[in-house]
Amino acid sequence: MMITVKCEDRRWRVIHPTHPEPIGFANGAVAFDFADALAREHHAETGLASAVRVEALDAFVDAVRYD
């Protein structure tokens, strides 16, 4: 599962593939910590791979992965 932290118009959003609406944050670090916690929890509960991707402007980085 890939959870995305995305910056648009100076606002950060966490986009979870199974949730219909993104979750908004004013701070990128807080958004990332939230996404990381979701990814860790998903991996711990299911044993499946989980990752966090950070997107800003036209670039992205896969920041963390739990296998």
Confidence bin at 47 (pLDDT 50/70/90): very high
Per-residue pLDDT at 49: 98
Q: What is the pLDDT of residues 9-45, one digit of tens each?
A: 889 999 999 999 999 999 999 999 999 999 999 999 9
Q: For the whole model, what pTM was predicted?
A: 0.92
What single string gives the DSSP state of each residue in the chain? -EEEEEEETTEEEEE-TT-SS-EEES-HHHHHHHHHHHHHHHHHHH---EEEEEEETTEEEEEEEE-
For 55-64, the pLDDT digits (tens) are: 999 899 999 9
